[in-house]
Amino acid sequence: MPAFGGADLRDLLVTTARQGIEAPDAAQGLTYLARAEVAGLPESRVIL
């Protein structure tokens, strides 16, 4: 699931699945960080 973060919302974070995979490789179950050329949008605050 991708998400934008950082003070300027230009850090793209992507997580990968590991659970339920019969033979996961070394790249699964990790979080990746990449710098995006454009900024993401902030999420609306939800109060439950």
Contacts of 41 (CB under 8 A, 6+ apart): 4, 9
* Mean pLDDT value of segment 1-5: 88
Residue 48 has a pLDDT of 85
Q: What is the rounded average pLDDT for all residues in the chain?
A: 89
CB 11 within 8 A of CB 33: yes
Q: 0.85 exceeded by the pTM?
A: no
Average pLDDT over residues 24-36: 89
